Chain A
C-alpha cells in the first residue's frame, strides 16, 4: 500500500494494478493513515458535499458583498439561456459563480482547496450530478478523487496564491475538478492524470491580483471560467487526448513558475488587474468608505 500521496504516476500505477479507481485507492490509503473506517471518511466527505450544495443554492440569491463588488452574477447567468455553452458547462459555471459569490458575501463554504477557488469543484460536480444523473454517493467519491489530486499538488507545488499565484489556487481546483469529472464519466486513472496535466498547462502562470486585496475581483468570475476549463480538459482526456508532459512534471513546472513569479503578482495587489487605474480607484473608494464608517463609530 502507498503511504504518501506524493506522486500522481505512483497513484495511477497502484490504482490500475489493483483495478480500482483513484478515489477508491485514496479512500483505502486515508482510512489506513488516519486509522479510521471508510464509513467514517465517506460520512465526513458527504457533509462537505451537502455544504457545497447549500452554498451553491444560497449563492444564487442576489445578495451583495460588503464591498459591493460581488453578487448577483450567478443569478444573471442562470436566467440567461446559454447559446454557446452546453448545458453541463453552463450549469457548472452558474454553480461555480454562485459558490464563489456566496464566499465573497461571508457565506458558509467548503474550501476546495482554498476559499478563493471554492466554486470550481462544486460547480463541476453538482452540474454533473444533476445533468448526468449521478448519485450523491458517486459525487462523494468524486471529492475523494479531487482530494488526491490536491494532495499531490500541495506536496509538490503549492495551493496558495501568495506563493504560486492564482494557478496554485484556481489552477489546482480546476485540476482536481477535471480529474474527478473524468472518473465520474467512467474514465481511467490514467485519463484522470491526463486531465490534470491538460488543465494545469492551460492555467500555468496565472497571477493572483485581487483588487484591494479582497477575494472578489477577479477571483469570483475566475471560478466560472475555471469550471469550464476543467470540463474542457476532462473532455479532452476522455477522448483519449494525452498531454505531451505528464502530470507530475507539469506540477513541478507549476512550482517553479510560482517561484519565478514576481511578488507583485502573488496576492499583494500590487500588479496585474489590481494595479489597473480602475482597480486603484475602486480600492481608494473602499478605503474612503471604511474611514468614514470608522469615524461614525
Chain B
C-alpha cells in the first residue's frame, strides 16, 4: 500500500467499485483479448446488475473495452464511441448469484478473429480480480505484469515454464496453477516484476504441452 492508494485513483465517478472497477474490468478484458474488439457480450450480476444505470457500470465497462483509462471523460458517452469504433455490444442483466456482489462476465471477439471470455469481480478501490478465463478458474488482479498460460497438465511443465522466466532474468512475484481434472487442461497465472517480452512469449509458445500464452502489462507502474 502507498500514498496513491489513499489519494487516488483519479477516476470518473461516482463509485470506485462500480465505475472505476467496471472500467478496469473492461480494460483487462481488452488487454487479454490482445486486439481491437468488434463484438462484446457483457452480463452483469449482483449489485452491478441492480445499480448499473446510476453508477454507469455499463458505460464504464464499454469504455474499458474501447481502451479508455479510468479517468477518461469519454466513459460517459462510451456507447456512442463504441458505435464509431465498430464495436457491436450487448449488455444483459442476470439475477444469478455469482458469490460476489460486483461481478461481470465479458465475452469478446476481436478484429483478427481472436476471442476471450472472462468472469471478473470488482473488489473495491478500482481493483479487480479475474476469477475465470475461457471457462477455467483463475485468480489475478492485473496489477503486475501477468502471463496466463494454458497448458496440458503434465509433469515437468511448471519447471520448464519457470526455467524460461529464470533464463530471461524475470522475477516471478506470484505463481498459481489451476486445473479441473488431473491430466487435462490446466491454467498457470504468473505475475512478474519485469515484463515478459515477445522473445519470452514465443519461447513459451514453442515449449512442450503449451496450448496458449497471453501476456498483459500491469495497471500500476
Whether A114 sits at the interface, judged by CB under 8 Å, is: yes
- How far apart sit A114 and B17, CA to CA, in the bound complex (Å)? 9
**Cβ–Cβ < 8 Å partners of A176 in chain B:** 6
Shortest Cβ distance from A92 into chain B, in angstroms? 17
Whether A150 sits at the interface, judged by CB under 8 Å, is: yes
**Cβ–Cβ < 8 Å partners of A65 in chain B:** 14, 54
Q: Are A106 and B19 in contact (CB under 8 A)?
A: yes
Q: Are B11 and A111 in contact (CB under 8 A)?
A: yes
**Cβ–Cβ < 8 Å partners of B47 in chain A:** 213
Q: Are A102 and B13 in contact (CB under 8 A)?
A: yes
- How far apart sit A108 and B56, CA to CA, in the bound complex (Å)? 13
Q: Are B19 and A151 in contact (CB under 8 A)?
A: no
Whether A155 sits at the interface, judged by CB under 8 Å, is: yes
Whether A44 sits at the interface, judged by CB under 8 Å, is: yes
Shortest Cβ distance from A271 into chain B, in angstroms? 16
Q: Mark B79-118, 1 if CB is under 8 A from A, else 0.
A: 0000000000000000000000000000000000000000
Whether B195 sits at the interface, judged by CB under 8 Å, is: no
- How far apart sit A17 and B53, CA to CA, in the bound complex (Å)? 52
Whether A105 sits at the interface, judged by CB under 8 Å, is: yes
**Cβ–Cβ < 8 Å partners of A147 in chain B:** 3-4, 6-7
Q: Are A107 and B6 in contact (CB under 8 A)?
A: no
In the complex, chain A residues 92-112 whose Cβ is within 8 Å of any chain B Cβ: 102-112
**Cβ–Cβ < 8 Å partners of A293 in chain B:** 53
**Cβ–Cβ < 8 Å partners of B216 in chain A:** none
**Cβ–Cβ < 8 Å partners of B211 in chain A:** none
- How far apart sit A110 and B5, CA to CA, in the bound complex (Å)? 11
| Choice from A106, A146, A154, A290 contacting B14 with Cβ under 8 Å | A106
**Cβ–Cβ < 8 Å partners of A154 in chain B:** 1, 5-6
Question: A106 and B75 in contact (CB under 8 A), knowing A67-B54, A213-B47?
Answer: yes
Q: Are B125 and A118 in contact (CB under 8 A)?
A: no
Whether A216 sits at the interface, judged by CB under 8 Å, is: yes
**Cβ–Cβ < 8 Å partners of A215 in chain B:** 13-15, 55
Q: Which candidate, A26-34, A130-138, A232-240, A250-258, is the interface stretch facing chain B?
A: A26-34
Counting contact residues on chain B (CB < 8 A from A), the size range is 20 to 34
Q: Are A30 and B2 in contact (CB under 8 A)?
A: yes
- Of A51, A104, A113, A215, chain B has the most CB atoms within 10 Å of the CB of A215
Question: A290 and B53 in contact (CB under 8 A), knowing A51-B10, A102-B13, A154-B6?
Answer: yes
Q: Are B2 and A48 in contact (CB under 8 A)?
A: no
**Cβ–Cβ < 8 Å partners of A159 in chain B:** 6, 125
In the complex, chain A residues 114-150 whose Cβ is within 8 Å of any chain B Cβ: 114-116, 118, 121, 143-144, 146-148, 150
- How far apart sit A128 and B142, CA to CA, in the bound complex (Å)? 38
SS class, residues of chain A in contact with chain B: helix
Shortest Cβ distance from A152 into chain B, in angstroms? 10
- How far apart sit A30 and B8, CA to CA, in the bound complex (Å)? 15
Q: Are A110 and B7 in contact (CB under 8 A)?
A: yes
- How far apart sit A121 and B73, CA to CA, in the bound complex (Å)? 22
Whether A286 sits at the interface, judged by CB under 8 Å, is: yes
Question: A108 and B71 in contact (CB under 8 A), knowing A33-B2, A114-B16, A214-B14?
Answer: yes
| Choice from A48, A66, A162 contacting B56 with Cβ under 8 Å | A66
Shortest Cβ distance from B159 into chain A, in angstroms? 31
Question: A212 and B6 in contact (CB under 8 A), knowing A106-B14, A107-B13, A114-B16?
Answer: no
Q: Mark A59-79, 1 if CB is under 8 A from B, else 0.
A: 000000111000000000000
Q: Mark B109-151, 1 if CB is under 8 A from A, else 0.
A: 0000000000000001110000000000000000000000000
Q: Are B6 and A48 in contact (CB under 8 A)?
A: no
Q: Are B54 and A106 in contact (CB under 8 A)?
A: no
Whether B20 sits at the interface, judged by CB under 8 Å, is: yes
Quick one: closest B residue to A146, CB to CB?
A: B7
Q: Are B15 and A115 in contact (CB under 8 A)?
A: yes
- How far apart sit A222 and B47, CA to CA, in the bound complex (Å)? 23
A-B contact pairs, 26 of them (CB 8 A): A45-B3, A65-B54, A66-B53, A102-B13, A107-B12, A109-B10, A109-B12, A110-B9, A110-B10, A110-B11, A111-B8, A111-B20, A112-B7, A114-B125, A115-B15, A143-B3, A151-B2, A162-B17, A162-B124, A212-B54, A213-B47, A213-B50, A215-B15, A215-B55, A216-B54, A290-B53
Interface residues of A (CB under 8 A from B): 26, 30, 33-34, 41, 44-45, 47-48, 51, 65-67, 102-116, 118, 121, 143-144, 146-148, 150-151, 154-155, 159-160, 162, 176, 212-216, 286, 290, 293
Sample of 6 further A-B pairs with CB below 8 A, known A113-B7, A160-B124? A110-B7, A110-B10, A111-B8, A116-B14, A154-B5, A293-B53
